[in-house]
Amino acid sequence: MDRILITGALGQLGLEFIKYFKKSDTFVLATDIRNPHEKLSCEFEKADVLNKERLDLLVKKYEINTIYHLVAILSANGEKNPFISWNVNMNSFQNIVEISVDNNIKNIFWPSSIAVFGTDSNLDFVPQNPSMNPETIYGVSKLAGEKLSSYYSRKFGLDIRSLRYPGIISTDTLPGGGTTDYIIEMLNAAKNKSDYTCFLSKETRLPMMYIDDAIDAAVKLMSIERKKLTISSSYNISGFSITPSELEDQIKSRGFNIKINYKPDFRQEIANSWPKEIDDSSSIKDWGWSCNFGLKETLDKVFS
């Protein structure tokens, strides 16, 4: 039976993974650099992922055999201090790998991102294996992690599985410093009946995914036999693509009288290097990926 360690467990993905695994009574140890605001439905230990000795102790104490490593400084926040971003994103990954090798842990989930691509990647419709030249430290660290995942799989027999997540939509947690955060902020503004100033231009098209699909995809990928998977780096995955102006129209069509202003900032340049659409046919073929939440279904959930 799986005994799962989730790092960065108090973030957007981590809290949803905890809820998911609770349904099946799977043992989960959640860790984060901060304490939770309220009691979690699983074991919790405060831990810094850069402290390898502390993590190693916890892995041994709780007999962990599977790791969901979710710690990351996201795209926009990463550009404010690229040195800290690299240290957190890459050295935490290295610690997880070393601990896994030392404790004979084979199964690791580590999310990548659409930030790995770049303007050389045919952004209108990005294939699984395009030319990749990321333009943010977040994207660079994620691409480095993908390359290392393939290497460590060959070198140590680790089974590191990964998805290149698009923007993840969930209004249950606050935005975490990403370039697609505008969609969560705009939805929350509509629910709170307040105006909103969008930091991207109204015609900036980006791929998105509802949180339930993001969790289901990871769990399904982790359940598939290794021999069926043809990708050892990270799989493309997508839900739907949308622009801020299209989202504004959809919100207003549901009766929300919201005023949106558009004032692009430094995040616009980041968004310009990201895909508009993603080819996720390898995920469909290899492990049966299927999106359950399009735009309509996502908005139905958000406003329910």
Q: In angstroms, rounded to a whole number, what is the distance separating the alpha carbons of residues 116 and 164? A: 8
- Looking up tokens 């735009």, which residue turns up? 295
**262 included as an active-site residue:** no
∠ CA 25-283-233 to the nearest 5 degrees? 90
pLDDT of res. 38:
92
Cβ–Cβ under 8 Å, residues 32 and 231 = no
pLDDT of res. 47:
98
Give the pair of three-digit tokens for residue 221: 């990928």
Q: In angstroms, rounded to a whole number, what is the distance separating the alpha carbons of residues 121 and 278? A: 11
pLDDT of res. 293:
98
Q: In angstroms, rounded to a whole number, what is the distance separating the alpha carbons of residues 109 and 215? A: 11
∠ CA 152-156-161 to the nearest 5 degrees? 50
∠ CA 84-146-224 to the nearest 5 degrees? 130
Give the pair of three-digit tokens for residue 25: 């009574």
pTM over 0.75: yes
Cβ–Cβ under 8 Å, residues 50 and 34 = no
pLDDT of res. 106:
92
Residues lower than pLDDT 70 in the chain: none
pLDDT of res. 177:
82
Q: In angstroms, rounded to a whole number, what is the distance separating the alpha carbons of residues 236 and 198? A: 27
pLDDT of res. 174:
74
Q: In angstroms, rounded to a whole number, what is the distance separating the alpha carbons of residues 163 and 206? A: 17
Q: Which entry of 68, 138, 196, 262 is annotated as an active-site residue? A: 138
Which domains does the chain show, CATH number per domain?
A: 3-166+209-236 (3.40.50.720), 170-207+240-276+293-302 (3.90.25)
Q: What SS3 state is found at 70?
A: coil
Query: At residue 266, what is the residue type?
Result: F
Q: In angstroms, rounded to a whole number, what is the distance separating the alpha carbons of residues 235 and 67? A: 18
Cβ–Cβ under 8 Å, residues 109 and 68 = yes
Query: Per residue in 70-123, pLDDT tens?
Result: 999 999 999 999 999 999 999 999 999 999 999 999 999 999 999 999 998 889
